Amino acid sequence: MSRLQKISQYGQQIWLDNLSRHLLDSGELARWIREDAIAGVTSNPAIFYNAIKHDASYQADLARIKATIAAPEARFEALVLPDIRRACDILRPLYDASNGDKGYVSFEVSPSLAHDAAGTLAAAQRLWHEIDRPNAMIKIPATQAGIEAVASAIAAGINVNVTLIFGPHQLAAVQAAHRRGLEARAAQGEAIARIASVASVFISRIDTLLDPRLPPELQGKIAIASARAAYARWRELPPLPAGARPQKLLWASTSSKNPAYRDVCYVEALIGPDTVNTVPDATLAAFRDHGEAAPTLACCPEESQGLLAALAARGVDMDQVGEELLAAGLAQFEDAFAKLLELMT
């Protein structure tokens, strides 16, 4: 059993935070599913920008698409949605065997829609039908408009990955939207048992932002403490409508940005039942080499609360931190999407 496989013994799924045609064509994704228990895939504009820019296998298709499709965004979707479908098909046996608990592939709505609830919902519905796979997930950012669209998308029967969550207020709003969507769908007499959702809580960016503002004894600790506190609150959420699947917490941005920190520290510290960790290739390789799997997520609640109390005593509001990081994350995705569309012209 690989070190990554051992994580699954503690009830956590590891998803790959990357997708490219090379991963599909080479059989590497299938091998990681088989050998390392990779249970899903996430993508975003930056991931596809790097894939298309550096993977030569896209170029012939792109030339053909340019001859028939005029709009850059439509060209992008025509180029990569077949890859999303292929990844869904590769993971479909896992989805079926787990009764829909595992095997999802996420694709994000355009960052330009981040503050447009109606536009986000329309894009989510269109992409859901165009991908046409039960194990697809549509990624929607945790802006005010995005959260409104999340409730509507869930009510429409769409699997949703809510991304760019940083602060406790953001996460609570996302969880409330998930509940509203399920309740609205159930009230319409529609089935809710197969609707899946994850709330993607970003981790390392919190420490990257806060460390320069904090004394040494708090540096590198707040992101983990915040995630553990979020998990403790998640475990106490009231029951959902009968038959509904809980919205899992997904840990994102779990590569270590500070070279002084252990390169797998955020993966090792957040292993617990009914959660997901989406991990880029380099962090996967590092954990495969020297990561240690143990049930760490629910440990040390008093320590986590003490760290967050010390942070608050210094006047740091995690909800304000969350808003700052959300704005920065949106800007990063918008920049990556703009560069991506340049590749389509």
Q: How do residues 112-142 score in pLDDT, each as one tens digit?
A: 999 999 999 999 999 999 999 999 999 999 9
Sole residue written with tokens 């979020």? 230
Binning pLDDT at 50, 70 and 90, where does residue 238 land?
Answer: very high
pTM of the predicted protein model: 0.97
Q: Structure tokens of 221? A: 């600790």
pLDDT tens digit sequence for 207-230: 999 999 999 999 999 999 999 999
**Angle formed at CA 328 by CA 123 and CA 280, multiple of 5 degrees:** 75
Confirm if 297 and 231 have CB atoms less than 8 A apart.
yes
Q: Which of 88, 93, 94, 74 is nearest to 19 (CA)?
A: 88
Q: Report the pLDDT value the prediction gives residue 285, as an integer from 0 to 100.
A: 97
pLDDT tens digit sequence for 2-36: 999 999 999 999 999 999 999 999 999 999 999 99
Catalytic residues: 139
Binning pLDDT at 50, 70 and 90, where does residue 99 land?
Answer: very high
Q: Report the pLDDT value the prediction gives residue 17, as an integer from 0 to 100.
A: 98
Is 3-343 CATH 3.20.20.70? yes
Domain boundaries, the chain: 3-343
3-state secondary structure of 134: coil
Q: What's the average model confidence in pLDDT over 28-52?
A: 96
pLDDT tens digit sequence for 155-211: 999 999 999 999 999 999 999 999 999 999 999 999 999 999 999 999 999 999 999
Mean pLDDT of the chain: 97
Strands (E), the chain: 12-16, 38-41, 104-108, 136-141, 160-165, 197-202, 248-252, 275-279
- 63: enclosing H helix or E strand: helix 59-68
Q: Which of 146, 152, 148, 150 is nearest to 115 (CA)?
A: 146
Handedness of CA 296, 94, 50, 117 (dihedral sign): negative
Confirm if 226 and 318 have CB atoms less than 8 A apart.
yes
Binning pLDDT at 50, 70 and 90, where does residue 61 land?
Answer: very high
Alpha helices (runs of H) in 188-240, residue ranges in sequence order: 204-210, 222-234
Q: Which of 288, 220, 203, 291 is nearest to 258 (CA)?
A: 220
Q: Which residues pair with 77 in a beta bridge?
A: none
Q: Report the pLDDT value the prediction gives residue 35, as an integer from 0 to 100.
A: 96
pLDDT tens digit sequence for 283-312: 999 999 999 999 999 999 999 999 999 999
- 113: enclosing H helix or E strand: none
For residue 212, the 8-state DSSP code is G
Q: Report the pLDDT value the prediction gives residue 202, as an integer from 0 to 100.
A: 98
Confirm if 43 and 106 have CB atoms less than 8 A apart.
yes
Q: Report the pLDDT value the prediction gives residue 200, as an integer from 0 to 100.
A: 98
Binning pLDDT at 50, 70 and 90, where does residue 144 land?
Answer: very high
